[in-house]
């Protein structure tokens, strides 16, 4: 297993040495995890040999040679708490023209606060269709009142932003990130229920959870497992996995489909816990 080193080279425009966020982490995802990813993004942008340097090009759709200050940074997580023990896991975030979305040069405190404060802010990304679908699914699963970022967290297996999933995938990128970042966030969140969005997200979770790998074939077909609840042993305890297709309209998910997925999520949440508790790091 890889360690989680602090990256020291190419530290351009980042002040991550002092962070005034009180005497505790704002989110159940630690500020050290956000620090590692922000440092890594700095190295990835400035070092052509870094495994994630390719993400510089995936955002430069106009061939304008994006500067560090223009580049949209990776998304470490969305939210502050997971009161229902629920985590939505996607594959990788897209990028767009959100004015406030963190870019190179932001301080660690501002970066960490931006993604932690989803429930309380005019968060630009919360208008993205996928996050709206997460909220809709959560409302169906919780029978009403539900807030993404408070009742459930969201994250992506690969946090770097790109135009398409194909731009984000390579064995080198996944092997570099899966223990350093993805596995670390999962352990900190310690979810009781994981909803995967799309085949790649499910495959990545399978690669991280040995008990899931013993159930799902490596060459899995999502339609064979979609909507089925898989109970598995993980590093942080027992968890229920609900594999779903990618929830945006581009993937042909209808309103009826989403209603059925909400019903399945309600069943899982009802059996996994009967009360709202804060799950996460001890």
| Predicted confidence (pLDDT) per residue in 152-183, tens digit | 999 999 999 987 777 788 999 999 999 999 99
Tell me what pLDDT residue 112 has.
95
Mode of pairing for the β-strands spanning 230-234 and 237-244: antiparallel
pLDDT higher than threshold 60 for residue 143: yes
Please, which pLDDT band fits residue 60 given cuts at 50, 70 and 90?
Answer: low
pLDDT over 70 at 4, yes or no: no
Pick the residue with more confidence: 139 or 96? 139
The residue among 254 and 88 whose pLDDT is bigger is 88
Q: Is the per-residue pLDDT at 251 higher than 80?
A: no
Tens-place pLDDT, residues 39-58: 999 999 999 999 999 998 87
Contacts of 160 (CB under 8 A, 6+ apart): 41, 44, 52, 55, 74, 92, 93, 168, 173
What pLDDT sits at residue 144? 79
Mean pLDDT of 251-256: 82
Task: Please tell me the predicted confidence (pLDDT) of residue 228.
Answer: 94
Closest-CA residue to 254 (of 157, 136, 125, 165)? 136
pLDDT at residue 267 is higher than 90: yes
For the cut 70, the answer to whether the pLDDT of residue 281 exceeds it is no
pLDDT tens string 93-124: 987 756 678 999 999 999 999 999 876 666 65
Q: Which one, of 272, 259, 278, 28, lies nearest residue 151 by Cα? A: 278
Quick one: pLDDT at residue 9?
Answer: 32
CB atoms within 10 A of CB 17: 8
**Domains in the chain, CATH or no CATH each:** 31-272 (3.40.470.10)
Q: Which pLDDT score, from 0 to 100, does residue 88 have?
A: 97
């Amino acid at each position: 297993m890889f360690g989680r080193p602090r990256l020291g080279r190419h530290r351009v425009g980042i002040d991550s040495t002092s962070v005034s966020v009180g005497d505790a982490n704002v989110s159940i995802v630690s500020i050290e995890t956000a620090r590692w990813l922000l440092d890594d993004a700095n190295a990835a942008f400035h070092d052509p040999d870094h495994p994630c340097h390719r993400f510089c090009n995936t955002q430069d759709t106009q061939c304008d040679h994006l500067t560090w200050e223009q580049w949209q940074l990776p998304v470490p997580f969305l939210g502050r708490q997971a009161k229902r023990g629920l985590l939505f896991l996607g594959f990788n975030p897209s990028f767009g023209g959100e004015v406030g979305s963190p870019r190179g040069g932001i301080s660690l405190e501002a970066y960490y606060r931006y993604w932690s404060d989803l429930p309380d802010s005019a968060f630009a990304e919360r208008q993205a269709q996928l996050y709206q679908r997460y909220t809709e699914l959560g409302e169906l699963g919780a029978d009403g009142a539900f807030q993404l970022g408070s009742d459930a967290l969201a994250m992506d297996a690969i946090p770097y932003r790109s135009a398409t999933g194909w731009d984000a995938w390579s064995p080198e990128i996944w092997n570099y990130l899966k223990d350093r970042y993805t596995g670390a966030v999962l352990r900190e969140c310690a979810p009781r229920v994981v909803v995967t969005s799309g085949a790649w997200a499910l495959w990545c979770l399978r690669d991280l959870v040995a008990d899931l790998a013993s159930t799902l074939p490596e060459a899995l077909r999502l339609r064979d497992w979609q909507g089925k609840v898989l109970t598995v042993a993980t590093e942080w305890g027992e968890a229920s996995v609900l594999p779903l297709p990618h929830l945006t309209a581009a993937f042909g998910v209808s309103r009826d489909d989403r209603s059925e997925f909400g019903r399945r999520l309600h069943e899982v949440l009802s059996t996994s816990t009967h009360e709202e508790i804060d799950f996460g790091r001890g």
